[in-house]
Amino acid sequence: MKSTWNIAVLMGGTSAEREVSLRSGAAVMAALEHLGHRVQAVDPNGQDLLLPEAVDVVFLALHGTYGEDGQIQEQLERMGIAYTGSGPASSRLAFDKVAAKRRFMQCNLSTPPFHVISDPAALMPTDLGLPLVVKPADQGSSVGLHFIHQAEQWPTAIAQVIGLGSQALVERCVKGRELTVAILGDRAQPIVEIIPKDAAAYDYQHKYTVGATDYVCPANLDQNLTLRCQQLALEAFRVLGCEGYGRVDVLLDGDEPTLLEVNTLPGMTETSLLPMAAKASGMGFGELCHWMVQDAISRHPRGSATQNIKTLNPKT
């Protein structure tokens, strides 16, 4: 396998996470260029996908819809082009938080109890108690995340969340330590503990504002609890059929870990957690990006794209 490649970094896109994706893509491009790869940025519009000629591999730095939801992966599969991250089916499953949680429950993996609501005028469920977590079933990066501490907060929150998509996921709010476990290949990386500085939830603002959150990596857990959290994360990754790399969010209630979700294209910004975990295991950012590209090519051995390949969005 050659050591340098022609790489198209897909970044930006049309989702609510466009700005974060652009930041991820810029960081990845800089790292890959520094390693001597030939790198070009591609900002897909969700309809036609145009790639530079002689592309060896696509690095997916997209987040959210038409990035993590399997659409772009389906296009690249049809084009016969290697790409980073999970395949179409597992990407689609992980992105659908409701379907993912149902799979966890089928496989006896711990996850908070929940309801799915599609009516913005629906009454607040009472069987889960308070507080509640309300979020879109098909968005990432904590987009649209609401915490309900009082019943009066419900009508506004449910209307806003359903306004972002067709369904809202309503979960029991589990109190505990917020952890995330990065996965590279078949290995769990050192655990990151997430501690928002103002004791608020780890929402979109805390996630992408430098200095708003403290991180401890490796998390201060004993060896047995560390292994339990890592094993739960690996099992979640596997039961969704994910490949390559990802990040699994876990809540630790006392000494009981419970699953929140699996992120198939985690952020690659200056505040992102997968690079932080990789660094704790001795892998620098450039080495991490190189590993992701090499992993993609090894799992997609069908060759590079032809000149100016064009394909239509599956929805059209």
Residue 202 is a catalytic residue: no
> Which is the catalytic residue, given 25, 90, 96, 208?
208
Q: How many residues does the chain have?
A: 316
Query: Tell me, what DSSP letter sits at residue 167?
Result: -
Residue 249 is a catalytic residue: yes
Here the tokens at position 269 are: 């910004």
Here the tokens at position 180 are: 């995330």
AA letter at 20: V
The whole-angstrom separation of Cα 52 and Cα 186 is 32
Residue 224 is a catalytic residue: no
> Which is the catalytic residue, given 247, 272, 295, 304?
247
Residue 235 is a catalytic residue: no
Residue 78 is a catalytic residue: no
> Which is the catalytic residue, given 203, 267, 272, 295?
267
Vertex 285 angle, CA 246 and 294, to 5°: 65
Residue 208 is a catalytic residue: yes
> Which is the catalytic residue, given 249, 272, 295, 304?
249
Count of C-beta atoms within a 10 Å radius of residue 13: 25
Q: 215 CB contacts (<8 Å, ≥6 apart)?
A: 192, 193, 194, 195, 273, 276
Here the tokens at position 37 are: 């790869």
What Å distances lie between residue 182 and 4, 44, 173, CA to CA?
Answer: 26, 27, 23
Q: What is the dihedral of CA 165, 157, 210, 37, to 10 degrees?
A: -10
> Which is the catalytic residue, given 17, 56, 178, 243?
17
> Which is the catalytic residue, given 90, 141, 272, 304?
141
> Which is the catalytic residue, given 96, 138, 261, 295?
261
Task: Collapse the DSSP code of 207 into the 3-class scheme (helix H, G, I; strand E, B; otherwise coil) and give the result.
Answer: helix
Active site residues: 17, 141, 208, 247, 249, 261, 263, 267
